[in-house]
Chain A
Amino acid sequence: MPGRDTFDAFVIARRGALLRTAYLLTGSHADAEDLVQVALLKAVPQWERIADHPEPYVRRILARESITRHRRRRWREVTAAELPETAIDIDPVDREALRRALLTLAPRQRAVIVLRYYEDLTERETAELLGIGVGTVKSQTRDALARLRLPGVVATG
């Protein structure tokens, strides 16, 4: 029966990758670590069922938790009233500028951008993972990219 050993092995193997995704979703080291920990804790009760292929389940928790956390705590978000009216020009070599720009997006827009352009998921995969419609993924992607004016950057995928 799969248990602690396989869980620990998965954490050791995939924690770094999960932290990278979580960092893009949260923009904060502490929040990223917390988010990954929560996703792993939530995976424990389901481990028997998902042990053979746990990554999709954990990533789904990761993405959805990043959105619901925002709803619950409005944490670290700039309120809509403070959002810039116009798109943000980002220095192509400035990582911090990109991080700040991501934080200006709504949590779901940010999750869509991360899943589509970092995790390279298709629109359908993104929609299934977030539990939303494909049309919503498309519109959220369009709006997010319009807000993030990225000079010298090509949005592929």
Chain B
Amino acid sequence: MSTLHERLAELAEDAPVGGALPEDLWDRGRRIARRRRLGTATIAAVACLALALVGVLGWQRGRTSVEPAAPGSAPAMPDQLYQPSGWLGSFGGSPGTLAAVFPARREHLLRSEAGIVGVSATTGRYGFLDLPDVAAGSDEVALSADGRRLAYWITGRTSGSPRTTAGDPVTGFAVFDALTGHTERVPIPTPHGLDPEQLAWSGDGLLLVEHGQWSGGDDDSADLQSTGRVMPPMTWRADRGLQPIEDRAELGVWSQSAGGHDWLMQVDDGDRRWAIDNLRTGEVWQMPQPNLAFEFPGPAISPEGTLLAGTHAGTAYSAGQSRTLSIVDRHGRVVMSVGGRATVALYWPDDKHLIAQRAVSADADDTALESLDVRTRRWTPVVTGPGVHTGNVSTQFAAFDLLAVPTRSAVPPPRPLGQRVVVGTSAVIVLVGGLAIVLWRRRARP
């Protein structure tokens, strides 16, 4: 009887004796170790370099070439507006006077959310505005003509079951002061949430608020959730708060005229008549409804309330389509019609000039703000850029008062690398680098 140890020891006696000792064993071992170290260090260095390149590229693309504004520099409209990136940074407080705002998806590493990008009128810088409780998906924002106040819809708590089919319920609006960074919330009591319709500024800080009330929340039937009541329009001003507008249940369009005239237009009162109403003086001018089908956004009213400008073509708005711009007087008579590229009438700086947005090509993003001299019928480009190009975006996206002063040469906003690209690329570099090191060390085995 023998043990396994003894049997293995016997078998081990058959092992080779090894012969002469290889003389260069020590030197070979050192050389192999050096090769492995050198290869590993090279791969690690290349990976670090690639990571540094990603970092530098991200920093380079994220930085803006805008020079800091000189103290006291006057606000001005840039001569071009650019479609902002969703990876832009935030202004982080008060951006100062805004030249324009854009709804944009604000991107994060694992999610994205609705956001508003502002363009500084003093520096030309682009950045997301920190708007507390901004309602997701609500593109209906309104920038005052002086570029100071931005009105937007907010979310909050409802008194009853909230209606969340379109996100958190809208429960009021807020006014962001771009000079101070202060936000004033104006809640509107609602059982289930508001159906936001329109926010629009007039020239002297008066805000028109139009909304509906949803009839049901998540706990109610689908029918109730999909129906609502149109509420009487209201006005808001910082010094007197929210006030209903009496006897004007069919409001259509809010004037954006310069000079602080609060013109309001009442449409289709049953007798095919419109009323132009100065909320400040109480003056009301009745006029026959023009035999024109003005499209959204509706006609803009001149400062003196004597002219209305709008577009009509009988077809939905689409960039590149030919649409007719018509100007009618207080008697509903067409005083001017201008055909041509797709046009949205926006703003009368005075009674002789109309600012409109016009498509410059078939590309819906390629638009320009142009000024029409109603006396000569000549168009003059003022600002090029994406502007508004769908019927769902407010026409009050720019500080139109700034068009009274010369524009400033625009600087393109940065196009930062997305965090997902940076993280994904870095992960791939680390992975490939690690794999290369493993493969190299295997290859460089003795």
* Minimum CB distance partner of A21 in chain B: B12
- If A29-B16, A33-B18 touch, whether A95 touches B1 (CB-CB below 8 Å) is no
Q: List, in ascending order, chain A residues with CB within 8 A of B13's CB.
A: 20
| Bound Cα distance from A71 to B236, whole angstroms | 78
Q: Does B110 contact A (CB under 8 A)?
A: no
A interface: dominant SS? helix
By the criterion CB–CB under 8 Å, are B5 and A20 in contact? Answer: no
Q: Does B8 contact A (CB under 8 A)?
A: yes
| Bound Cα distance from A113 to B7, whole angstroms | 12
Q: List, in ascending order, chain B residues with CB within 8 A of A4's CB.
A: 26
By the criterion CB–CB under 8 Å, are A118 and B18 in contact? Answer: no
By the criterion CB–CB under 8 Å, are A153 and B29 in contact? Answer: no
Q: List, in ascending order, chain B residues with CB within 8 A of A118's CB.
A: 5, 8-9, 12
| Bound Cα distance from A20 to B446, whole angstroms | 21
- Which stretch in A5-13, A76-84, A132-140 binds the other chain? A5-13
Interface footprint category on B: 20 to 34
- The CB with the most chain A CB atoms within 10 A, among B1, B9, B12, is that of B12
- If A37-B25, A40-B25 touch, whether A117 touches B4 (CB-CB below 8 Å) is yes
By the criterion CB–CB under 8 Å, are B15 and A150 in contact? Answer: no
Q: List, in ascending order, chain B residues with CB within 8 A of A157's CB.
A: 5
Q: List, in ascending order, chain A residues with CB within 8 A of B382's CB.
A: none
Interface residues of B in 46-93 (CB under 8 A from A): none
Q: Does B241 contact A (CB under 8 A)?
A: no
By the criterion CB–CB under 8 Å, are A152 and B1 in contact? Answer: yes
Interface residues of A (CB under 8 A from B): 3-4, 7-8, 11-12, 15-16, 19-24, 29, 32-33, 36-38, 40-45, 92, 95, 98-99, 102, 113-114, 117-118, 120, 150, 152-157
8 pairs of residues in contact across A and B, judged by CB atoms under 8 Å: A7-B25, A16-B15, A23-B12, A24-B11, A37-B22, A99-B11, A117-B5, A118-B8
Interface residues of B (CB under 8 A from A): 1-5, 7-18, 21-22, 25-26, 28-30, 32-33, 445-446
